[in-house]
Homo-oligomer: A and B are copies of this chain.
Amino acid sequence: MIMKQSNYAKIFKALSNEQRLKIFLMIYEECLKSETGRGNAEFNVLNEESCCPCLGTLEKAFSMVCGCMNLSRSTISHHFKELQNAGLITCEREGQIFRCRVNQGAVEAIKGFLA
């Protein structure tokens, strides 16, 4: 419990929507890959239930996410915003590139929730 209860509630709310959870895990997985330089089988959660067999890099995140989830662009945009508001990810735009990163602090908080 390394964070206020109300903050945990916010994080959990962001992850309580299945679509958003999926998006978050995509980004999380991508971040892991790019940090460790390899795909970690443990995190290949997407292949199981999701539809994104050819997921590239999350730098062109948005369109790919759109492509593989049956949601409109406005909805996806909304979900990205929610994840940002909950402090789970940060997104920045560099020209055409839309770069997403998982917020390490949030990851630690989640890991430390009941630990």
A residues whose Cβ falls under 8 Å from a Cβ of B: 1, 4-6, 8-9, 12-13, 15-18, 21-22, 25, 28, 42-43, 45, 48-50, 107, 110-111, 113-115
Contact = CB atoms under 8 A, between A and B. Distances in A.
Q: How many copies does the complex hold?
A: 2
**Binding site of A, secondary structure by majority: helix, strand, loop or mixed?**
helix
Contacts of A110: 113-114
A22 B49 contact: no
Nearest to A21: B9
A11 to B, nearest CB: 8
B1 A9 contact: no
A74 B51 CA distance: 41
17 contacts: A1-B43, A1-B45, A4-B48, A5-B25, A5-B45, A5-B48, A5-B49, A5-B50, A6-B18, A9-B18, A12-B21, A13-B16, A16-B16, A110-B113, A110-B114, A111-B113, A111-B114
